[in-house]
A and B are shown apart, each in its own frame.
Chain A
Amino acid sequence: MIQSFFEWLQSTSLAVVVGESWFPWVESAHVVCLALVAGTIFTVDARLIGFASRQLRFTYVSDRLLPWTWGAFIGAAITGSLMFMANATTYAANIPFRFKMVLLLLAGINMLYFQFVTFRSVNSWDAGTPAPAARLAGLLSIVLWCGVIGCGRWVGFV
């Protein structure tokens, strides 16, 4: 069922044109978007851990940078989906690709847990060194996103 969906997906005219001529451009745009996603997340995480930007409140840094992260994430998701379409059945069976999706999911869960649980006490640590749970969330985020990038690069090698 899902297999036939992937087969249909890669037979669409959009998937064919991506595979035949747009791929290098889409892939380059994906690199630009992912650099912006990961780079801004790492900058916010560095503040969350208490490693950098400590003179600024955590919420100030995150409010100012995360809109860029989300904008770039939408771009990375669109370009990533276009690349997936072009070779849907191959990517779906690719082990590093599956790892990458799991790590993305874990990064999302880490973010949601931080947002809805740890962040509630932000007023007590916004200006200084964040609470241990917040620092752990920042560290986990860095590890998970490095894993996403590593798996993404690994996808092309198997």
Chain B
Amino acid sequence: MDLHQFSEWLSSTPLSQLIQVTTWAIPGIQTIHIISLALVFASALVFSLRIAGHGLASEPLHLLAARFTRAIWWLLLLLLLSGTLLIVAEPGRTITNPVFYAKMLMLAVVIAVTLWLSAVARRQFERPSGLHVFMAAVSILLWIGIMFAGRFIAYVESN
């Protein structure tokens, strides 16, 4: 079964059909996706700013890292769930779209970078180095890239 056949099979499943015939379902799920995304992006920004010594700088780094990365992981779960529903609803839009895979690649990298920064930040005796600040900035650029890719899925033709 190739990707096109998988995509066709997916859009014929009862769940996909249900989302397709429910008028408000797709904009509703997209709204949940965007609200979660807004919270992830703000949490990533607060965490990255703190690594650079800015933002909520009066809170010890390990405490701030613990609570904001916890928020990031829970919100990512919500993003994956709402994103999966959107793929199930319209598989032809994403599964054969190269921009979708670029988005997933950036997502995998930003998760790896955030895991690493989180591990560093929780070791409270370690002060962030120039490399940590640089990678914190990279993570913000990756989130911006993910948002651009997410929107461009709607504009780039699927293969």
Residues on A lying within 8 angstroms of B by beta carbon are 24, 27-28, 31-32, 34-40, 42-43, 52-53, 55-56, 60-61, 64-65, 68, 146, 149-150, 153-154, 156-157
The dominant DSSP class at the B interface is helix
Query: Can you list the 8 inter-chain pairs with the closest CB atoms, starting with the nearest?
Result: A39-B42, A39-B38, A38-B38, A35-B38, A28-B151, A28-B148, A150-B31, A24-B155
Name the distance in Å between A20's Cβ and chain B's nearest Cβ: 13
Is B56 part of the contact surface with A, judged by Cβ < 8 Å?
Answer: yes
| A35-B41, A55-B59, A56-B58 given; A149·B151 CB < 8 A | no
The dominant DSSP class at the A interface is helix
Contact at B34–A153, with CB atoms within 8 Å?
A: yes
Q: How large is the interface on B (under 10, 10 to 19, 20 to 34, 35 or more residues)?
A: 20 to 34
Q: Hey, which chain B residues are within 8 Å of A60, CB to CB?
A: 56, 58
Contact at B45–A68, with CB atoms within 8 Å?
A: yes
- The number of A-B residue pairs with CB atoms under 8 Å apart is 87
Q: Hey, which chain B residues are within 8 Å of A56, CB to CB?
A: 56, 58-59
Contact at A36–B45, with CB atoms within 8 Å?
A: yes
Q: Hey, which chain B residues are within 8 Å of A24, CB to CB?
A: 151-152, 154-155
Contact at B42–A40, with CB atoms within 8 Å?
A: yes
Known A-B contacts: A28-B152, A60-B58. Give 10 more (CB < 8 A): A27-B151, A34-B34, A35-B38, A42-B38, A55-B63, A61-B56, A65-B42, A65-B56, A150-B31, A153-B34
